[in-house]
Chain A
Amino acid sequence: MNNRKKLTLLVIVASIVHPSVALAYVDPGSGSVIVTTILGFFAAIAYTFRKYFYKLKRKMFGGKSDEEDSRALDD
Protein backbone atom coordinates (compact mmCIF):
# COMPACT_ATOMS: atom_id res chain seq x y z
CA MET A 1 0.00 0.00 0.00
CA ASN A 2 1.54 3.29 -1.03
CA ASN A 3 1.57 6.37 1.21
CA ARG A 4 -1.32 8.00 -0.61
CA LYS A 5 -3.56 4.97 -0.09
CA LYS A 6 -2.49 4.77 3.56
CA LEU A 7 -3.42 8.42 4.05
CA THR A 8 -6.83 7.94 2.40
CA LEU A 9 -7.50 4.92 4.61
CA LEU A 10 -6.44 6.86 7.69
CA VAL A 11 -8.81 9.73 6.82
CA ILE A 12 -11.70 7.29 6.30
CA VAL A 13 -11.00 5.46 9.58
CA ALA A 14 -10.58 8.76 11.44
CA SER A 15 -13.87 10.05 10.10
CA ILE A 16 -15.64 6.90 11.31
CA VAL A 17 -14.12 6.67 14.78
CA HIS A 18 -13.92 10.40 15.49
CA PRO A 19 -16.48 11.13 18.19
CA SER A 20 -18.96 13.81 17.13
CA VAL A 21 -19.72 14.95 20.67
CA ALA A 22 -16.92 14.87 23.19
CA LEU A 23 -16.39 16.26 26.65
CA ALA A 24 -13.28 18.18 25.62
CA TYR A 25 -11.50 21.01 27.47
CA VAL A 26 -12.34 23.67 24.89
CA ASP A 27 -15.84 25.04 25.36
CA PRO A 28 -17.67 24.27 22.10
CA GLY A 29 -19.54 27.55 22.52
CA SER A 30 -16.31 29.55 22.37
CA GLY A 31 -16.59 29.55 18.57
CA SER A 32 -20.01 31.14 18.81
CA VAL A 33 -18.63 34.66 18.91
CA ILE A 34 -16.84 34.03 15.58
CA VAL A 35 -19.99 32.62 14.03
CA THR A 36 -22.24 35.42 15.31
CA THR A 37 -19.79 38.06 14.06
CA ILE A 38 -19.71 36.57 10.55
CA LEU A 39 -23.46 35.94 10.39
CA GLY A 40 -24.29 39.27 12.04
CA PHE A 41 -22.21 41.13 9.44
CA PHE A 42 -24.06 39.54 6.51
CA ALA A 43 -27.41 39.80 8.27
CA ALA A 44 -26.84 43.53 8.80
CA ILE A 45 -26.13 44.03 5.08
CA ALA A 46 -29.23 42.03 4.14
CA TYR A 47 -31.30 43.90 6.73
CA THR A 48 -30.24 47.31 5.40
CA PHE A 49 -30.88 46.25 1.81
CA ARG A 50 -34.29 44.82 2.69
CA LYS A 51 -35.24 47.91 4.67
CA TYR A 52 -34.67 50.20 1.67
CA PHE A 53 -36.22 47.72 -0.73
CA TYR A 54 -39.44 47.47 1.29
CA LYS A 55 -39.52 51.23 1.84
CA LEU A 56 -39.39 51.69 -1.90
CA LYS A 57 -41.95 48.94 -2.47
CA ARG A 58 -44.30 50.48 0.08
CA LYS A 59 -44.00 53.88 -1.54
CA MET A 60 -44.80 52.41 -4.93
CA PHE A 61 -47.47 49.80 -4.05
CA GLY A 62 -48.47 50.44 -0.40
CA GLY A 63 -48.88 47.58 2.14
CA LYS A 64 -47.81 46.76 5.69
CA SER A 65 -44.46 47.50 7.25
CA ASP A 66 -41.87 44.75 6.90
CA GLU A 67 -40.80 45.30 10.50
CA GLU A 68 -44.34 44.61 11.79
CA ASP A 69 -44.40 41.46 9.72
CA SER A 70 -41.12 40.13 11.10
CA ARG A 71 -42.14 40.82 14.72
CA ALA A 72 -45.44 38.98 14.62
CA LEU A 73 -45.43 35.60 16.38
CA ASP A 74 -47.22 33.85 13.53
CA ASP A 75 -47.33 34.14 9.80
Chain B
Amino acid sequence: MINAISGSFRDPSSRVYAVDAPDKKGRAIYRGVDSETFENFQKLQAEPFYKQLENENRVVKTTLCAPADPVAKEILEAGWAGVMRHEPVSLVSYSYEWSFAMLRRAALLHLRILTDALEAGWTVKDSTPYNIQFEGTAPVFIDIPSFVPWQEGEPWVAYRQFCCCFLTPLMMRSHLGINHLPLLRSYLDGIPPVEAANYFRGFSRFKRGVASHIMLPARVERRIEARERDAVPAQDRSQRKVSRKYVLALVESVTRLVKSLSVNIEHTDWSEYDKTHTYDDDEFQAKKGFVQEFVQEKKPSCLMDIGCNTGTFSKIAAEHADLVIAADGDHDAVQKLFMHESTHSAHNNILPLVLDLSNVSPNQGWAGKERSSFDSRANPDAILVLALVHHIRISANIPMALFLDWLRSFNCDIVIEFVDRNDEMVVKLLQNKTEQYLDYSRESFERELQERFKVRASKELKGGKRVIYHTEPL
Protein backbone atom coordinates (compact mmCIF):
# COMPACT_ATOMS: atom_id res chain seq x y z
CA MET B 1 0.00 0.00 0.00
CA ILE B 2 1.34 3.47 -0.94
CA ASN B 3 1.14 6.19 1.70
CA ALA B 4 2.35 9.77 1.34
CA ILE B 5 4.49 10.51 4.40
CA SER B 6 2.65 13.09 6.48
CA GLY B 7 5.77 15.17 7.23
CA SER B 8 6.73 15.67 3.58
CA PHE B 9 4.59 18.54 2.35
CA ARG B 10 6.68 21.69 2.89
CA ASP B 11 8.61 21.52 -0.37
CA PRO B 12 6.08 21.58 -3.22
CA SER B 13 8.66 20.15 -5.64
CA SER B 14 8.37 16.62 -4.26
CA ARG B 15 6.50 14.25 -1.95
CA VAL B 16 7.77 11.16 -0.18
CA TYR B 17 5.80 7.91 -0.26
CA ALA B 18 6.36 4.81 1.86
CA VAL B 19 5.44 1.40 0.56
CA ASP B 20 5.23 -1.60 2.89
CA ALA B 21 7.64 -4.37 1.93
CA PRO B 22 5.87 -7.64 1.01
CA ASP B 23 7.26 -9.37 4.14
CA LYS B 24 6.02 -6.43 6.28
CA LYS B 25 9.58 -5.98 7.51
CA GLY B 26 10.51 -2.41 6.66
CA ARG B 27 9.32 -0.10 3.94
CA ALA B 28 10.51 1.02 0.53
CA ILE B 29 10.83 4.80 0.13
CA TYR B 30 9.79 6.54 -3.08
CA ARG B 31 9.59 10.22 -3.97
CA GLY B 32 7.39 11.84 -6.58
CA VAL B 33 9.15 14.89 -8.09
CA ASP B 34 8.17 17.73 -10.41
CA SER B 35 9.79 18.20 -13.83
CA GLU B 36 12.41 20.71 -12.65
CA THR B 37 13.58 18.44 -9.81
CA PHE B 38 13.57 15.48 -12.18
CA GLU B 39 15.86 17.30 -14.64
CA ASN B 40 18.08 18.58 -11.80
CA PHE B 41 18.56 15.07 -10.48
CA GLN B 42 19.54 13.75 -13.91
CA LYS B 43 22.29 16.41 -14.06
CA LEU B 44 23.24 15.92 -10.41
CA GLN B 45 23.86 12.19 -10.86
CA ALA B 46 26.61 12.99 -13.33
CA GLU B 47 28.37 15.45 -10.99
CA PRO B 48 31.66 14.11 -9.54
CA PHE B 49 31.04 15.81 -6.17
CA TYR B 50 27.66 14.07 -5.83
CA LYS B 51 29.08 10.71 -6.87
CA GLN B 52 31.75 11.07 -4.21
CA LEU B 53 29.22 11.98 -1.53
CA GLU B 54 27.16 8.96 -2.50
CA ASN B 55 30.19 6.64 -2.48
CA GLU B 56 31.12 7.90 0.99
CA ASN B 57 27.50 7.27 2.15
CA ARG B 58 27.09 10.96 2.99
CA VAL B 59 23.91 11.15 0.91
CA VAL B 60 21.21 8.51 0.72
CA LYS B 61 21.52 6.13 -2.23
CA THR B 62 18.93 7.22 -4.78
CA THR B 63 17.87 5.97 -8.21
CA LEU B 64 15.29 7.04 -10.75
CA CYS B 65 12.46 4.55 -11.21
CA ALA B 66 11.37 3.27 -14.61
CA PRO B 67 7.85 4.55 -15.42
CA ALA B 68 6.76 0.93 -15.82
CA ASP B 69 7.55 0.14 -12.16
CA PRO B 70 4.12 -0.54 -10.61
CA VAL B 71 4.74 1.74 -7.60
CA ALA B 72 6.20 4.48 -9.81
CA LYS B 73 3.17 4.20 -12.08
CA GLU B 74 0.83 4.88 -9.19
CA ILE B 75 2.89 7.89 -8.03
CA LEU B 76 3.07 9.29 -11.58
CA GLU B 77 -0.71 9.07 -11.72
CA ALA B 78 -0.79 11.49 -8.76
CA GLY B 79 0.64 14.12 -11.14
CA TRP B 80 4.40 13.91 -10.56
CA ALA B 81 6.86 14.13 -13.46
CA GLY B 82 9.25 11.49 -12.17
CA VAL B 83 9.84 9.05 -9.32
CA MET B 84 12.97 8.48 -7.25
CA ARG B 85 13.63 5.56 -4.99
CA HIS B 86 15.69 6.09 -1.84
CA GLU B 87 17.41 3.49 0.26
CA PRO B 88 15.39 3.48 3.52
CA VAL B 89 17.05 4.56 6.77
CA SER B 90 16.94 2.18 9.74
CA LEU B 91 14.97 4.53 12.00
CA VAL B 92 13.81 8.10 11.53
CA SER B 93 14.99 10.24 14.44
CA TYR B 94 14.67 13.97 15.05
CA SER B 95 17.12 16.61 16.21
CA TYR B 96 15.28 16.91 19.54
CA GLU B 97 16.36 13.33 20.23
CA TRP B 98 20.03 13.88 19.36
CA SER B 99 22.82 14.60 21.79
CA PHE B 100 25.00 17.67 21.26
CA ALA B 101 27.63 15.60 19.45
CA MET B 102 25.04 14.20 17.05
CA LEU B 103 23.63 17.63 16.20
CA ARG B 104 27.15 18.95 15.73
CA ARG B 105 28.06 16.06 13.43
CA ALA B 106 24.86 16.56 11.41
CA ALA B 107 25.69 20.29 11.13
CA LEU B 108 29.19 19.51 9.87
CA LEU B 109 27.80 17.08 7.30
CA HIS B 110 25.42 19.74 6.03
CA LEU B 111 28.23 22.28 5.76
CA ARG B 112 30.51 19.81 4.00
CA ILE B 113 27.77 18.98 1.45
CA LEU B 114 27.01 22.67 0.93
CA THR B 115 30.69 23.51 0.37
CA ASP B 116 31.11 20.71 -2.16
CA ALA B 117 27.91 21.72 -3.92
CA LEU B 118 28.85 25.43 -4.08
CA GLU B 119 32.27 24.67 -5.49
CA ALA B 120 30.61 22.62 -8.23
CA GLY B 121 28.05 25.33 -9.09
CA TRP B 122 25.21 23.86 -7.04
CA THR B 123 23.65 24.78 -3.72
CA VAL B 124 21.43 23.21 -1.06
CA LYS B 125 18.19 25.16 -0.74
CA ASP B 126 17.12 23.85 2.68
CA SER B 127 19.06 23.52 5.86
CA THR B 128 16.95 21.59 8.30
CA PRO B 129 18.07 18.67 10.47
CA TYR B 130 14.99 16.75 9.32
CA ASN B 131 16.93 16.28 6.07
CA ILE B 132 19.61 14.34 7.91
CA GLN B 133 19.23 10.91 9.48
CA PHE B 134 21.65 8.68 11.36
CA GLU B 135 22.74 5.19 10.40
CA GLY B 136 24.34 4.19 13.68
CA THR B 137 26.62 7.13 14.39
CA ALA B 138 26.99 8.20 10.75
CA PRO B 139 24.82 11.07 9.52
CA VAL B 140 23.27 10.71 6.05
CA PHE B 141 21.69 13.51 4.00
CA ILE B 142 18.32 12.33 2.68
CA ASP B 143 16.68 15.29 0.92
CA ILE B 144 18.02 14.96 -2.63
CA PRO B 145 15.63 17.58 -4.17
CA SER B 146 17.39 20.16 -1.95
CA PHE B 147 20.25 20.17 -4.46
CA VAL B 148 19.58 22.94 -7.00
CA PRO B 149 21.87 24.79 -9.40
CA TRP B 150 23.41 27.88 -7.79
CA GLN B 151 22.24 31.11 -9.45
CA GLU B 152 24.81 33.88 -9.99
CA GLY B 153 24.67 36.34 -7.07
CA GLU B 154 22.54 34.08 -4.90
CA PRO B 155 23.29 34.31 -1.16
CA TRP B 156 23.36 31.34 1.22
CA VAL B 157 19.57 31.07 1.07
CA ALA B 158 19.21 28.67 3.98
CA TYR B 159 21.64 30.55 6.27
CA ARG B 160 18.93 31.62 8.70
CA GLN B 161 17.45 28.14 8.79
CA PHE B 162 20.90 26.66 9.46
CA CYS B 163 21.42 29.07 12.35
CA CYS B 164 17.96 28.43 13.86
CA CYS B 165 18.15 24.65 13.55
CA PHE B 166 21.83 23.86 14.10
CA LEU B 167 24.12 26.71 15.09
CA THR B 168 21.98 28.45 17.71
CA PRO B 169 21.11 25.29 19.72
CA LEU B 170 24.76 24.21 19.56
CA MET B 171 25.94 27.62 20.83
CA MET B 172 23.29 27.69 23.55
CA ARG B 173 24.47 24.32 24.85
CA SER B 174 28.17 24.98 24.44
CA HIS B 175 28.32 28.61 25.63
CA LEU B 176 25.50 28.68 28.21
CA GLY B 177 24.97 25.04 29.18
CA ILE B 178 21.29 25.29 28.22
CA ASN B 179 19.55 22.01 27.39
CA HIS B 180 18.76 22.54 23.70
CA LEU B 181 16.49 19.50 23.30
CA PRO B 182 13.23 20.83 24.83
CA LEU B 183 13.72 24.03 22.80
CA LEU B 184 14.12 22.11 19.54
CA ARG B 185 11.10 19.99 20.45
CA SER B 186 9.03 23.17 20.76
CA TYR B 187 10.55 25.20 17.93
CA LEU B 188 10.23 22.66 15.12
CA ASP B 189 11.62 25.22 12.65
CA GLY B 190 14.53 26.06 14.93
CA ILE B 191 15.16 28.75 17.53
CA PRO B 192 14.66 32.21 15.97
CA PRO B 193 17.53 34.72 16.55
CA VAL B 194 15.23 37.22 18.30
CA GLU B 195 14.31 34.53 20.83
CA ALA B 196 17.87 33.20 21.15
CA ALA B 197 19.18 36.72 21.82
CA ASN B 198 17.16 36.76 25.06
CA TYR B 199 19.33 33.97 26.47
CA PHE B 200 22.64 35.71 25.80
CA ARG B 201 23.20 38.41 28.41
CA GLY B 202 26.27 40.29 29.60
CA PHE B 203 29.63 38.77 28.74
CA SER B 204 28.10 35.70 27.07
CA ARG B 205 27.40 37.98 24.08
CA PHE B 206 31.15 38.10 23.48
CA LYS B 207 31.49 34.32 23.16
CA ARG B 208 32.57 33.05 19.77
CA GLY B 209 29.93 33.45 17.07
CA VAL B 210 27.23 35.01 19.27
CA ALA B 211 27.56 38.61 18.04
CA SER B 212 27.70 37.54 14.39
CA HIS B 213 25.14 34.78 14.21
CA ILE B 214 22.65 35.65 16.95
CA MET B 215 22.85 39.29 18.02
CA LEU B 216 23.32 40.78 14.52
CA PRO B 217 20.51 38.77 12.86
CA ALA B 218 18.23 39.53 15.84
CA ARG B 219 18.97 43.24 15.53
CA VAL B 220 18.39 43.27 11.76
CA GLU B 221 15.12 41.37 12.13
CA ARG B 222 13.88 43.68 14.89
CA ARG B 223 14.71 46.77 12.79
CA ILE B 224 13.00 45.40 9.70
CA GLU B 225 9.96 44.45 11.74
CA ALA B 226 9.83 47.92 13.31
CA ARG B 227 10.28 49.77 9.99
CA GLU B 228 7.89 47.70 7.93
CA ARG B 229 5.07 47.09 10.35
CA ASP B 230 1.38 47.97 9.79
CA ALA B 231 0.66 49.45 6.33
CA VAL B 232 4.30 50.17 5.39
CA PRO B 233 5.12 48.05 2.31
CA ALA B 234 7.89 45.47 2.69
CA GLN B 235 11.13 46.29 0.88
CA ASP B 236 12.14 43.98 -1.95
CA ARG B 237 15.49 42.48 -0.97
CA SER B 238 15.35 39.56 -3.37
CA GLN B 239 17.45 41.38 -5.98
CA ARG B 240 20.52 41.79 -3.76
CA LYS B 241 23.51 39.91 -5.12
CA VAL B 242 26.29 38.22 -3.18
CA SER B 243 29.48 36.88 -4.71
CA ARG B 244 30.11 33.14 -4.46
CA LYS B 245 33.41 33.92 -2.77
CA TYR B 246 31.50 35.58 0.08
CA VAL B 247 29.11 32.65 0.34
CA LEU B 248 31.92 30.07 0.44
CA ALA B 249 33.87 32.15 2.96
CA LEU B 250 30.81 32.39 5.21
CA VAL B 251 30.19 28.63 5.02
CA GLU B 252 33.86 28.03 5.82
CA SER B 253 33.74 30.43 8.75
CA VAL B 254 30.59 28.76 10.14
CA THR B 255 32.27 25.34 9.75
CA ARG B 256 35.17 26.57 11.89
CA LEU B 257 32.74 27.92 14.45
CA VAL B 258 30.79 24.64 14.68
CA LYS B 259 34.05 22.71 15.09
CA SER B 260 35.10 24.98 17.93
CA LEU B 261 31.92 24.22 19.92
CA SER B 262 32.12 21.50 22.53
CA VAL B 263 30.58 20.37 25.81
CA ASN B 264 32.09 18.54 28.73
CA ILE B 265 30.51 15.30 29.84
CA GLU B 266 29.45 15.81 33.44
CA HIS B 267 29.50 13.06 36.06
CA THR B 268 25.77 12.31 36.33
CA ASP B 269 24.05 9.31 37.95
CA TRP B 270 24.21 7.50 34.60
CA SER B 271 27.23 8.78 32.67
CA GLU B 272 29.64 6.74 34.83
CA TYR B 273 27.38 3.69 35.10
CA ASP B 274 30.14 1.22 34.18
CA LYS B 275 32.12 2.26 37.26
CA THR B 276 29.34 3.20 39.68
CA HIS B 277 26.73 0.41 39.40
CA THR B 278 25.98 -1.50 42.61
CA TYR B 279 26.58 -5.08 41.42
CA ASP B 280 29.62 -7.09 42.38
CA ASP B 281 31.57 -8.54 39.45
CA ASP B 282 29.94 -11.99 39.51
CA GLU B 283 26.41 -10.57 39.67
CA PHE B 284 27.15 -8.14 36.86
CA GLN B 285 28.50 -11.00 34.73
CA ALA B 286 25.37 -13.02 35.51
CA LYS B 287 23.17 -10.15 34.31
CA LYS B 288 25.25 -9.73 31.17
CA GLY B 289 25.02 -13.50 30.57
CA PHE B 290 21.20 -13.43 30.83
CA VAL B 291 21.01 -10.62 28.25
CA GLN B 292 23.60 -12.28 26.02
CA GLU B 293 21.62 -15.55 26.01
CA PHE B 294 18.42 -13.71 25.10
CA VAL B 295 19.86 -11.75 22.16
CA GLN B 296 21.85 -14.73 20.93
CA GLU B 297 18.69 -16.83 20.77
CA LYS B 298 16.38 -14.08 19.50
CA LYS B 299 18.72 -12.39 16.98
CA PRO B 300 16.45 -9.32 16.78
CA SER B 301 16.27 -7.17 13.68
CA CYS B 302 15.58 -4.13 15.89
CA LEU B 303 16.24 -4.16 19.61
CA MET B 304 15.35 -1.22 21.82
CA ASP B 305 17.39 -0.72 25.01
CA ILE B 306 15.40 1.76 27.07
CA GLY B 307 17.23 3.33 29.97
CA CYS B 308 20.51 2.30 28.34
CA ASN B 309 22.86 4.56 30.41
CA THR B 310 26.21 4.41 28.60
CA GLY B 311 25.14 1.37 26.59
CA THR B 312 26.77 -1.55 28.42
CA PHE B 313 23.95 -3.89 27.39
CA SER B 314 23.31 -2.17 24.03
CA LYS B 315 26.85 -3.15 23.06
CA ILE B 316 26.18 -6.80 23.97
CA ALA B 317 22.92 -6.71 21.99
CA ALA B 318 24.64 -5.07 19.00
CA GLU B 319 26.67 -8.25 18.50
CA HIS B 320 23.51 -10.14 17.57
CA ALA B 321 20.92 -7.53 16.49
CA ASP B 322 20.74 -5.70 13.16
CA LEU B 323 19.90 -2.41 14.87
CA VAL B 324 19.97 -1.31 18.51
CA ILE B 325 18.06 1.80 19.53
CA ALA B 326 19.78 2.88 22.74
CA ALA B 327 17.58 5.41 24.52
CA ASP B 328 18.10 7.25 27.79
CA GLY B 329 16.95 10.53 29.29
CA ASP B 330 20.46 11.44 30.45
CA HIS B 331 22.10 13.54 27.74
CA ASP B 332 25.65 12.99 28.91
CA ALA B 333 25.28 9.20 29.11
CA VAL B 334 23.92 9.12 25.54
CA GLN B 335 26.61 11.50 24.33
CA LYS B 336 29.26 9.26 25.90
CA LEU B 337 27.82 6.21 24.12
CA PHE B 338 27.70 8.11 20.81
CA MET B 339 31.32 9.20 21.15
CA HIS B 340 32.39 5.67 22.06
CA GLU B 341 30.51 4.09 19.17
CA SER B 342 31.87 6.69 16.73
CA THR B 343 35.38 5.45 17.30
CA HIS B 344 35.10 1.87 18.60
CA SER B 345 32.03 0.32 17.03
CA ALA B 346 32.58 -2.83 15.00
CA HIS B 347 29.13 -2.88 13.39
CA ASN B 348 27.95 0.77 13.57
CA ASN B 349 24.46 -0.46 14.43
CA ILE B 350 23.75 1.38 17.69
CA LEU B 351 21.61 4.51 17.39
CA PRO B 352 21.89 6.44 20.69
CA LEU B 353 18.95 8.76 21.37
CA VAL B 354 18.13 11.12 24.22
CA LEU B 355 14.59 10.30 25.31
CA ASP B 356 12.82 11.11 28.54
CA LEU B 357 11.07 7.77 28.90
CA SER B 358 8.23 9.23 30.91
CA ASN B 359 7.57 11.73 28.11
CA VAL B 360 8.81 10.37 24.76
CA SER B 361 8.56 12.49 21.59
CA PRO B 362 4.89 12.95 20.70
CA ASN B 363 3.06 13.41 17.39
CA GLN B 364 3.39 17.10 16.62
CA GLY B 365 3.74 19.79 13.99
CA TRP B 366 0.96 20.56 11.50
CA ALA B 367 -2.25 18.78 12.50
CA GLY B 368 -0.22 16.67 14.91
CA LYS B 369 1.07 14.59 12.00
CA GLU B 370 4.17 16.34 10.71
CA ARG B 371 6.61 14.75 13.18
CA SER B 372 5.54 11.39 14.45
CA SER B 373 5.82 10.04 17.97
CA PHE B 374 8.77 7.90 18.96
CA ASP B 375 6.44 4.93 19.63
CA SER B 376 5.07 5.01 16.11
CA ARG B 377 8.52 5.22 14.47
CA ALA B 378 10.18 2.47 16.47
CA ASN B 379 9.16 -1.04 15.53
CA PRO B 380 11.29 -3.25 17.78
CA ASP B 381 11.12 -7.03 17.93
CA ALA B 382 12.91 -7.10 21.30
CA ILE B 383 13.20 -4.66 24.20
CA LEU B 384 15.60 -4.44 27.15
CA VAL B 385 14.23 -2.68 30.23
CA LEU B 386 17.02 -3.07 32.75
CA ALA B 387 16.79 -1.47 36.18
CA LEU B 388 14.30 1.11 34.97
CA VAL B 389 10.99 0.13 36.57
CA HIS B 390 11.79 1.81 39.92
CA HIS B 391 12.55 5.11 38.16
CA ILE B 392 9.31 4.92 36.18
CA ARG B 393 7.20 4.04 39.24
CA ILE B 394 8.89 6.12 41.94
CA SER B 395 10.68 9.00 40.20
CA ALA B 396 8.22 9.58 37.34
CA ASN B 397 5.20 8.40 39.37
CA ILE B 398 3.78 6.28 36.56
CA PRO B 399 1.79 3.24 37.74
CA MET B 400 3.43 -0.08 36.82
CA ALA B 401 0.29 -1.23 35.00
CA LEU B 402 0.46 1.76 32.63
CA PHE B 403 4.15 1.26 31.98
CA LEU B 404 3.64 -2.46 31.27
CA ASP B 405 0.70 -1.62 28.98
CA TRP B 406 3.02 0.69 27.01
CA LEU B 407 5.65 -2.05 26.74
CA ARG B 408 2.98 -4.57 25.73
CA SER B 409 1.88 -2.25 22.89
CA PHE B 410 5.15 -3.08 21.08
CA ASN B 411 4.03 -6.74 20.98
CA CYS B 412 7.49 -8.25 21.27
CA ASP B 413 9.78 -10.16 23.65
CA ILE B 414 11.03 -8.14 26.59
CA VAL B 415 13.83 -8.59 29.09
CA ILE B 416 12.85 -6.62 32.15
CA GLU B 417 14.59 -6.20 35.51
CA PHE B 418 12.73 -5.51 38.71
CA VAL B 419 14.54 -3.73 41.53
CA ASP B 420 12.94 -4.57 44.89
CA ARG B 421 12.28 -2.22 47.81
CA ASN B 422 15.25 -3.51 49.82
CA ASP B 423 17.77 -2.65 47.07
CA GLU B 424 19.96 0.26 48.17
CA MET B 425 19.05 2.28 45.07
CA VAL B 426 15.30 2.03 45.80
CA VAL B 427 15.98 2.86 49.46
CA LYS B 428 17.80 5.99 48.22
CA LEU B 429 14.93 6.86 45.88
CA LEU B 430 12.37 6.58 48.67
CA GLN B 431 14.47 8.55 51.15
CA ASN B 432 12.80 11.89 51.91
CA LYS B 433 9.68 10.96 49.93
CA THR B 434 6.34 11.30 51.73
CA GLU B 435 4.58 8.89 49.38
CA GLN B 436 6.02 5.42 49.99
CA TYR B 437 4.52 3.67 46.91
CA LEU B 438 3.25 0.71 48.89
CA ASP B 439 2.06 -1.01 45.69
CA TYR B 440 5.70 -1.25 44.61
CA SER B 441 6.59 -4.86 45.43
CA ARG B 442 7.85 -7.94 43.63
CA GLU B 443 4.47 -9.73 44.07
CA SER B 444 2.53 -6.85 42.62
CA PHE B 445 5.01 -6.41 39.75
CA GLU B 446 4.90 -10.12 38.85
CA ARG B 447 1.11 -10.12 38.94
CA GLU B 448 0.91 -7.16 36.55
CA LEU B 449 3.63 -8.62 34.34
CA GLN B 450 1.92 -12.02 34.03
CA GLU B 451 -1.37 -10.37 33.04
CA ARG B 452 0.35 -9.15 29.87
CA PHE B 453 3.35 -11.41 29.27
CA LYS B 454 4.38 -15.01 29.64
CA VAL B 455 7.57 -15.36 31.67
CA ARG B 456 9.95 -17.68 29.80
CA ALA B 457 12.89 -17.40 32.18
CA SER B 458 13.93 -15.45 35.25
CA LYS B 459 16.98 -15.06 37.46
CA GLU B 460 17.53 -13.50 40.85
CA LEU B 461 20.40 -11.03 41.14
CA LYS B 462 22.05 -9.38 44.15
CA GLY B 463 20.77 -12.04 46.52
CA GLY B 464 17.17 -11.59 45.42
CA LYS B 465 17.11 -7.78 45.63
CA ARG B 466 16.73 -7.72 41.86
CA VAL B 467 15.08 -10.14 39.42
CA ILE B 468 15.53 -10.26 35.67
CA TYR B 469 12.80 -11.80 33.47
CA HIS B 470 12.64 -12.86 29.82
CA THR B 471 9.03 -12.48 28.75
CA GLU B 472 6.99 -12.83 25.59
CA PRO B 473 3.61 -11.23 24.94
CA LEU B 474 0.50 -13.24 25.86
Contacts and interface: CB of A to CB of B under 8 A. Distances in A.
B407 to A, nearest CB: 37
A35 B159 contact: yes
A37 interface: yes
A20 B195 CA distance: 6
A36 B252 contact: no
Given A28-B194, A35-B216, 5 more contacts: A28-B221, A38-B216, A43-B249, A44-B246, A70-B256
28 contacts: A21-B194, A25-B229, A26-B225, A26-B228, A26-B234, A28-B194, A28-B225, A29-B160, A31-B220, A31-B223, A32-B157, A32-B159, A33-B238, A33-B240, A34-B220, A34-B240, A35-B217, A36-B242, A37-B240, A37-B242, A40-B242, A40-B246, A40-B249, A44-B249, A47-B249, A70-B255, A71-B115, A71-B255
Interface string B294-330: 0000000000000000000000000000000000000
A13 interface: no
Interface residues of B, number: 45
A25 B234 contact: yes
Contacts of B109: 73
Interface string A14-27: 00000011101111
Nearest to B231: A25
Contact of A39 (B108, B212, B237, B342): B212
Interface in B230-269: 234-235, 237-238, 240, 242-243, 245-250, 252-253, 255-256, 259
A20 B112 contact: no
Interface SS of chain A: helix, strand, loop or mixed? helix
The 7 A-B pairs with the shortest beta carbon distances in the complex, nearest first, are A40-B246, A43-B249, A44-B249, A31-B220, A43-B253, A47-B249, A40-B250
B474 interface: no
A27, A43, A70, A75 — which one has the most chain B CB atoms within 10 A of its CB?
Answer: A43
A46 to B, nearest CB: 7
A74 interface: yes
Given A20-B194, A21-B192, A36 B156 contact: yes
Chain A: number of interface residues, binned into ranges: 20 to 34
Contacts of A30: 224, 234-235, 237
B155 interface: yes
Contacts of B234: 25-27, 30
Interface of A: 20-22, 24-41, 43-44, 46-47, 70-71, 73-75
Nearest to B213: A39
A15 B223 CA distance: 14
A35 B253 CA distance: 14
B253 A33 contact: no
Contacts of A35: 159-160, 216-217, 220
B105 interface: yes
Contact of B217 (A24, A31, A44): A31
Contact of A74 (B105, B192, B194): B105
A25 B229 CA distance: 8
Contacts of A33: 155, 237-238, 240, 242
B321 to A, nearest CB: 26
Nearest to A47: B249
B252 A70 contact: yes
Contacts of B108: 73-74
A26 B198 CA distance: 21
A47 B252 contact: yes
Contacts of B216: 35, 38-39
A28 B195 CA distance: 12
Given A31-B217, A32-B160, A74-B105, A37 B155 contact: yes
Nearest to B115: A71
A18 B302 CA distance: 48
Interface string B169-201: 000000000000000000000001011001000
Given A33-B240, A40-B242, A24 B250 contact: no
Contacts of B105: 73-74
A35, A41, A47 — which one has the most chain B CB atoms within 10 A of its CB?
Answer: A35
A39 B220 CA distance: 13
A37 B304 CA distance: 47
Contacts of B255: 70-71
Contacts of B224: 26, 28, 30-31
Contacts of A43: 246, 249-250, 252-253
Contact of A75 (B228, B235, B259): B259
B250 A36 contact: yes
Contacts of B256: 70
Interface string B435-468: 0000000000000000000000000000000000
B141 to A, nearest CB: 12
A61 to B, nearest CB: 20
Nearest to A27: B234
B198 A20 contact: yes
A40 B252 CA distance: 10
A33 B225 CA distance: 15
